[in-house]
Amino acid sequence: MIGQIISHYKIVEKLGGGGMGVVYKAEDIKLKRPVALKFLPFDLTRDEEAKERFVHEAQAASALDHPNICNIHEIDETEDGQIFICMAYYEGETLKKKVASGQLPVTSTIDIAMQIAQGLARAHEAGITHRDIKPANVMVTNRGEVKIVDFGLAKLAGRPKLTKSGATLGTVAYMSPEQAQGVEADHRSDIWSLGVVMYEMLTGQLPFSGEYDMAMMYALVNSDPQPVRSLRSVVPKGWIYYDLGEFDAGRIAISKLINRLMEVAPKREPYHKQYHSFYLGLVNAKLGQIDSAKHHLEVTKSVLSLAEREEIERPKFHHDLLAAEILLAEGSPEDAIITSQKIKHLQLSMSMSIPDAFVYNLPFREDIAARAYQLEGNLDGAIAEYERLTMIDPQNNDRRMIPARFHYRLANLYEQKGLTAKAIARYEHFLNVWKNADPDWPELNDAKARLARLKGRAAK
């Protein structure tokens, strides 16, 4: 087909192909832009079910308007009846190609995973389940932008199933147990698959293995994956924090998050949805996307009555924390501090029933209060909050990672106040605790540079 003109598109080169289509790069002659054309394979043109599924891919994807979902320009048909979709063309490579080279940096893994999660959240809001999330269906542009492609297996909620009775859609290695067992799949299957993708990005291998499809299906239904930390020594024990610019975008515990994503527990569905919205809302708030953050806040609020009846306190913590972050993002530090006080009281009650909850949650509350004081220009107030927080330093390595970053922030504040000796001590403590952390993290290099500069000044 190279060189052919179809409609107003000139085929330039073949990009790839799969069971549901062959993709070509083409030039839009009218608009003078590169595009990607996906054609239904010739051997499937007589399959009306495959055609219908292919059309629904375009309908599902074109209804979504999100930066992390591939743009669909139009759907058309050649003179001989071959259907094709015209999509945006992106310079970059598939995530499959990236992971083929081995483990990805922790920061890259979180960045890509969060962008996939944002795109999936938009699709799920529209009642669309992708059903085939895998590295081959994720494009990473040269700018680092993630695009979810190929909604060929998408199922629109409320529409007739397009698969034959008993047929299983999806790629086995990334399937959820529901898909493997032939049970009706919904958005939770996408979340499971995202967990598998994250696992592969971090470890360079799949969580479940088998010499053939049925063995793989048996493994994912009946076995547990090898812990990430046993395969990736550079991943610190405990919570990993991810920065977006100068904002704190939230805390993600890699190992625990993957386990949550790959957990199938329908009866816990309301809490899983709240947990998902909680993290997305935090990122939105830190990026100044207030309307999106408030939308996620409403989702976290929707389960509070149920959680109260079941005496589960974590959802209330999630709601109050996100509410405080939004107030901070809106420039209302005083209200953020007041709201954060609720989080503190909640933690104290939680710590009585969950032994590690006090240490596990405290940094959130103290950090909000400290940043609020900074926004007010009250550095002494911020220092007091971080000093109170950094007194917690359990011997357990999993928890020691929690206050470590706050030693870094406290050192920054001491430096701003001209307290050189205290700043040096805090930077040294931070670097000692994080000596085995991912070397890509910006705080490490920044702390080293600041420490060297302060010591140089002190020696003069």
Q: What pLDDT is recorded for position 81?
A: 80
Q: What pLDDT is recorded for position 131?
A: 84
Cα 179 → chain centroid: 22
Q: Where in the chain is the domain with CATH 3.30.200.20?
A: 5-88
Q: What pLDDT is recorded for position 327?
A: 92
pLDDT tens for the 460 residues of the chain, in order: 899 999 999 999 998 877 667 899 999 999 999 999 988 776 666 667 766 776 776 777 788 888 999 988 988 888 888 888 899 999 999 999 999 988 888 778 878 988 898 899 888 888 888 888 999 999 999 988 999 988 755 543 333 333 433 334 447 888 877 777 777 778 888 888 898 899 899 888 888 877 767 777 777 777 777 777 677 755 543 333 333 332 233 334 444 555 555 554 444 556 666 766 777 787 778 777 888 889 889 888 888 888 778 777 778 878 888 899 899 889 999 998 888 877 754 443 333 333 333 333 344 677 888 889 988 999 999 999 888 877 754 444 334 345 567 888 899 999 999 999 999 999 998 888 766 555 656 778 889 999 999 999 888 7
Question: What is the Cα Rg of the chain in Å?
Answer: 25
Enter the tokens of residue 426.
């805090």
Instruction: Please give the CATH topology (third level) of the domain spanning 5-88.
Output: Phosphorylase Kinase; domain 1 (3.30.200)
Whole-angstrom distance, CA of residue 252 vs CA of residue 261: 12
Of 148, 143, 189, give the one whose Cα is nearest residue 170: 189
pTM: 0.58
Q: What pLDDT is recorded for position 182?
A: 73
From the number of C-beta atoms within 10 Å of its C-beta (0-12, 13-18, 19+), residue 82 rates as middle
Q: Where in the chain is the domain with CATH 1.10.510.10?
A: 92-160+168-230
Q: What pLDDT is recorded for position 424?
A: 94
Instruction: Please give the CATH topology (third level) of the domain spanning 240-459.
Output: 1.25.40
What would the CATH number be for the domain defined by 92-160+168-230? 1.10.510.10
Identify whether 132 is a catalytic site residue.
yes
Whole-angstrom distance, CA of residue 413 vs CA of residue 423: 8
Q: Where in the chain is the domain with CATH 1.25.40.10?
A: 240-459
Enter the tokens of residue 219.
């493994």
- The catalytic residue among 132, 150, 367, 398 is 132
Residue whose token pair is 């080279």: 101
Helix (H/G/I), strand (E/B), else coil: 150: coil
Of 156, 133, 221, give the one whose Cα is nearest residue 183: 221
Q: List Cβ neighbours of 256 (8 Å cut-off, separation of 6 or more).
A: none
Q: Are 195 and 258 in contact (CB under 8 A)?
A: yes
Helix (H/G/I), strand (E/B), else coil: 9: strand
Q: What pLDDT is recorded for position 441?
A: 65
Q: What pLDDT is recorded for position 251?
A: 35
Whole-angstrom distance, CA of residue 241 vs CA of residue 280: 14
Of 382, 318, 325, give the one whose Cα is nearest residue 350: 318
Q: What pLDDT is recorded for position 404?
A: 67
Q: Are 132 and 150 in contact (CB under 8 A)?
A: yes
